[in-house]
Amino acid sequence: MLTPGFFITFEGSEGCGKSTQIAYLEKYLRKKNPNHEIVLLREPGGTALGEKIRYLLKHEGEEVSIAAEAELLLFAASRAQLVREVIQPALKRGAILLCDRFLDSTTAYQGAARALNSDHVAMINQIATGGLIPDITLLLDQEISLGRARMSERNKKMETPDRMEQEPEAFYEAVRKEYLNLAAAEPDRWIVIDASQHPEQVAEQILNELNKKCSVNNRLVSTLSS
């Protein structure tokens, strides 16, 4: 479904630097297109309902147990609200959207790592998104050991890691493997980035890869290079 706007999502396991790279790209785009609307989003979250779900999923105490199926549906509920309340209207306005996670996170985390039925996950994703697919998805890929080390350093500033950050290494290996499978299956949409580099090198690689996409994607040219 073509829209006047452009939708870029960032994916990757914990500690891959998504927030940093979104900030770099936002700064570049605002300088390049000072009159173009740039919308920053995150999942779960981005709406009043989504932020409440985000807190429940990430920070609610251990006394609240969340089954894998319930987790799947909570992520989907947040996404459904975000799509209808924020994403669809912004795309119709012609905005550039930069989103920290989208439906592919559910496929990797709840589908692969939680080992839920892939057909069920795909159906829930379809309902939540209404069939909306990102124009470009940037996968920040790195060895799991590096991501865990970065998480550990970051968590020194926090009292406790969030729920997802407490998962074992095998969980993250399953997430990474699924992300790479998804990227290989849809090379026109996905761009795999080496996230083990210095953040400025990662940002440079992202811009280089986006410029390559511009050579074959007229919508990307008109949106990012205007």
Structure tokens at 78: 């947040």
Query: Is the per-residue pLDDT at 84 higher than 50?
Result: yes
Nearest in space to 218 (alpha carbons), one of 137, 135, 139: 135
Quote the pLDDT of residue 1: 45
Angle at 134 between CA 130 and CA 135, to 5 degrees: 130
Kindly list the domain boundaries of the chain, sorted by start residue. 6-224
Question: CATH classification of 6-224 is 3.90.1150.10, yes or no?
Answer: no
pTM over 0.85: yes
pLDDT in tens, 63-76: 788 999 999 999 99
Q: Are 109 and 21 in contact (CB under 8 A)?
A: no
pLDDT in tens, 113-161: 999 999 999 999 999 999 999 999 999 999 988 877 777 666 666 556 6
Phi (first) and psi of residue 96, to 5 degrees: -95, 125
Alpha helices in 60-215 (DSSP H): 68-82, 88-93, 103-106, 118-129, 144-155, 169-185, 199-214
